[in-house]
Amino acid sequence: MKTTNFADRLTSLIKQRKSCAVVGLDPHWSPIPESIKKSAIKQHGKTPVACAAVIRTFCTELIDAVCAHVPVVKPQSAFFEQFGPAGVEALYAVMEHARSKGLLVLLDVKRGDIGSTAQGYANAYLGESEIDGEKFEPFPADAVTVNPYLGSDSVLPFVETAAGHGKGVFVLVKTSNPSSAEIQDLVVENETVYMKVAQKLDAIARDHIGESGYSLLGAVAGGTFAQAGEKIRRCIPNCYILVPGYGAQGAGAADLKPFFNEDGLGAIINSSRAISFAYAGKPYAEKFGEAKWQAASEAAIIAMNEEIAAQTPFLNRKTDR
């Protein structure tokens, strides 16, 4: 049976839901509603198990609030791993719940290794593991983030495994953090390091293009660097770009235009805290408050979709509704 290209699945969902937004699941402990914390601590005490129960409940309820409005959620593995085995179990449960709601799961793990180790990571997140002939999917992920610092040897095992299982790979190119320039903006052979990475990605991506015209191999480029985003976009026309930095990190809807292709596709825009904890900030705190935190998150993602659609011709076409 033919495996559906990840980019085709992503494109289809974007069209169905009229959204290119990604909700980042970064369950910072402090702003999680107290009602969720009290219930778990009462049952499990002040333990890692209680912490894992809190982030599991929070993330699954957040997914329930936003699932009708987005194609993708992006759990950040670190926020779960910090609570040990119970946290990893919570991550698995959250990923399964997202899939049950018809969402693609982009697991943010930023792995980067070579040889059999890279293949092991690829099997874990994008492929299968096997025990005496019995195969199973270790994590219910549809795509992962990968760090290319070790070169193509650290990327190809993920790409090849993804190709066989209808999954996707997003490689760090120009990240949204301020200190990214320390390495990514260095000039080598008259070109920045991040553009060297983009050029390498383009060469690999062309072998994995689906019917949508996009490849299963994508890039990560921060919305806080619009000029860099424009250069990257021209370099990798057949790749989706995962764009962090919108909302709490300072990038606005107008800053996102360079990341899209002329067809209005080609970018997925991540927002984490501005959606997850919308109840705690303007303009939602007064109207919703903590008691209605899910409603605040839903209102925030609807507003985000509207802001992006105003800048994106494809998403703004009334005839496709």
C-beta of residue 66 within 8 angstroms of C-beta of residue 293: no
Q: Which residues contact 227 (CB under 8 A, 6 or more apart)?
A: 258
Nearest partner of 19 among 64, 62, 69, judged by Cα: 69
Cis peptide before 258 (omega within 30 of 0): no
For 82-100, the DSSP string reads: TTHHHHHHHHHHHHHHHHH
Of these residues, 18, 110, 231, 292, which one is catalytic?
110
Is 110 a known active-site residue?
yes
- Contact status, residue 42 vs residue 72, Cβ threshold 8 Å: no
C-beta neighbour count of 107 within 10 angstroms:
24
Tokens of 46: 């002040």
Q: Measure the CA–CA gap between 303 and 321, rounded to whole angstroms.
A: 17
The Cα 260–Cα 263 span in angstroms is 8
246/207 Cα distance (integer angstroms): 31
What is the CA angle 277-281-287, rounded to 5? 100
Residue with tokens 């994590």: 139
Which residue numbers are catalytic?
110
